[in-house]
Amino acid sequence: MARKRIIVVVEDEEPIRRGITDALRMAGYDVVEAADGEVGLIEARRAGVDLVLLDLLLPKLNGFDVLAELRVTRPALPVVILTARGSEDDRVRGLRGGADDYVVKPFSARELLARVEAVLRRSPERPAPVVRIVGGDAVVDCARREIRKGENEAVVLSEMEANILERLAAHPGRAVSREELLSCVWGIRDGSVETRAIDMHITRLRQKLAAASDDNVEWIATVRGKGYMIGASLEVKTAEGQA
């Protein structure tokens, strides 16, 4: 089973915080609660957090300051702000400050969950983009979508194949389920497409990778009952730190 997504809820009004927390837990998320901005910032900065729901009027440190601080250390962390009805200025200021979306109070659990899902879908963990994957003497260049080995002619990957490979490489050591690949590579969430389609793309991708590299390199591992994982011996280079 995929790990539960972790959402930090920063909201000082206890009944609202509890309502949000209950709704998120019911929907299968792990929730960390924070009743003021200072605690919220500490919790939001922890590794593994997937999204932050951030009230703006908070004790100790207001939501705008929390957002500004967060953007310094976690520029890509999805943040949804909670704003009061009619406060358009806050909304605009929040979005300009780097919030990914907003929900206007009072909101229904359904509306909140829809926003959270949409933001997570747009930016699934937003890992640092994978630039290169090295397996033995062969190198996959993600921007050019090709595999090169020495002086051999480059083998070109389809956009779909490159996306699958990048998704796996962005999460080394973790099995990525077919459902996750469907939702992030194809943008499909309703399960109407056979997950077998994924297997067919994987097969073709493996054939290309094998043809372009040494036989002993395992590019994509199958994890029974879970999905696929990037080969453990590969070297993955991301764009992190280059910005």
Question: Could you list the residues that contact Ca ion (CB under 5 A)?
Answer: 12, 55, 57
Of 14 and 137, the one with the shorter C-beta distance to Ca ion is 14
Is the separation of the CB atoms in 11 and 55 below 8 Å?
yes
- Nearest distance from C-beta of residue 109 to Ca ion, angstroms: 18
Sequence-distant (≥ 6) Cβ neighbours of residue 21 within 8 angstroms: 9, 31, 33
Nearest approach in angstroms of CB 15 to Ca ion is 11
Closer by beta carbon to Ca ion, 10 or else 138 = 10
User: Chain-centre distance of CA 162, in angstroms?
Assistant: 17
89 half-sphere exposure, CB direction, 13 A CA radius: 0
Q: Of 60 and 226, which has the nearer Cβ to Ca ion? A: 60
Cβ nearer to Ca ion, comparing 57 with 197: 57
CB of 49: closest distance to Ca ion in angstroms? Answer: 20
CB of 14 to Ca ion, least distance (A): 10
Least distance in angstroms from the C-beta of 73 to Ca ion = 23
Do residues 79 and 105 make contact, with C-beta atoms less than 8 angstroms apart? no
Is the Cβ of residue 23 or residue 82 nearer to Ca ion in the bound state?
Answer: 82
Structure tokens at 140: 């996959």
Task: Establish how many alpha carbons lie within 13 A of residue 102's alpha carbon, considering only the half-sphere containing its beta carbon.
Answer: 26
C-alpha count within 13 angstroms, C-beta hemisphere, residue 2: 15
Least Å distance, CB 91 to Ca ion, is 15
Is 12 or 146 the residue whose CB approaches Ca ion more closely? 12
CB-closest chain residue to Ca ion: 57
Helix (H) or strand (E) holding 13, with range, is none
Return the axis-axis angle of helices 37-45 and 63-73, rounded to nearest 10°. 20
> Least distance to Ca ion from the beta carbon of 57, Å?
4
**Of 55 and 161, CB closest to Ca ion:** 55
